[in-house]
Amino acid sequence: MNAIVKSMIANLHAKADEASELVDEVLYGMTVEIMEDIDENWARIQTGYRYEGYCQKAKLIVDKTKTDTWRQEANHFINQSFADVLQQPRIQSAKMITLVKGSIICSITIDKLDPEWAAVQLVSGETGYVRRQWLQEQIPENSLTEQQIRENVVQTALSYLAAPYRWGGKSPLGIDCSGLCSMAYMLNGVYIYRDAKIVEGFPIKEISLGNIQKGDLIYFPGHIALYIGELLYVHSSLGGNEVNINSLDEQHQHYRKDLANSVTAVGSLFK
């Protein structure tokens, strides 16, 4: 059975228990597959990027037809850290819901409105309004060059700078290391593995450190960072308590010796 996330963020837990470990966050408008119906409150789900965990049913719209339609028609995502969906196209209007960066939404009549506003359809079927500049169309596969993808992935990762660290988090409210890297790629049309390791069947392949380029991934024991060029990398650091930039260059003021000396692998989307 298929479902759509209807809350701002749906927590994905290691067990069917609110007190269990948060392993991921699934954002508004993302579609999931229900793998197992646990009880009246919980289901084991698999996300569109093939990550599994336990989610509260109250966060979902469980309907195959609606989900299939949404997958076809929901063609934009929120590119602002936070965005209010309003009842009318004016800033004084009442809020319907607040969405975070990466939330998926269905944009309608986007070419017919005031340049400041776009009409959007929520998963409930209701129509609301969002500032047009806060919407970005989903990127079709194979529509960009390698260098464009690399640069876009870096800029997307940098847009989360100073977001607080949250284990299992994947939004500007709080994000962990693999959440940052996976969102940087997801918002550019590529699904990589959500955790800090290279996994067979996903598009990241191991390369040598000497061949690293912008947008490639650096792996450490239990940690992952995104290379941004000039021996710098951006990551959500538990030690730094937020998304920040560090260096592999021991002469740099932001050098992290503990990480520079513990690189286990480098991964790339490209050969």
DSSP 65-125: HHHHHHHHH--EEE-SSEEEEESSSSTTSPEEEEEETT-EEEEESTTSS-TTEEEEE-TTS
Closest C-alpha among 229, 232, 227 to residue 247: 232
Question: Is 13 in the active site?
Answer: no
Look at the block and give the residue holding tokens 């309907």. Answer: 63
The residue annotated as part of the active site, out of 13, 55, 106, 223, is 223
CB 168, CB 21: distance < 8 Å: yes
Look at the block and give the residue holding tokens 């997801």. Answer: 186
Angle, vertex CA 101, rays to CA 162 and CA 87, nearest 5: 130
The residue annotated as part of the active site, out of 106, 235, 252, 254, is 235
Closest C-alpha among 183, 134, 135, 139 to residue 158: 183
DSSP three-state, residue 243: strand
Closest C-alpha among 104, 32, 43 to residue 68: 32
Question: Is 181 in the active site?
Answer: no
Question: Is 177 in the active site?
Answer: yes
The residue annotated as part of the active site, out of 55, 76, 106, 177, is 177
**Residue 159: C-alpha distances to residues 5, 36, 79, 201 (Å):** 24, 36, 9, 28
User: What residues are annotated to the active site?
Assistant: 177, 223, 235
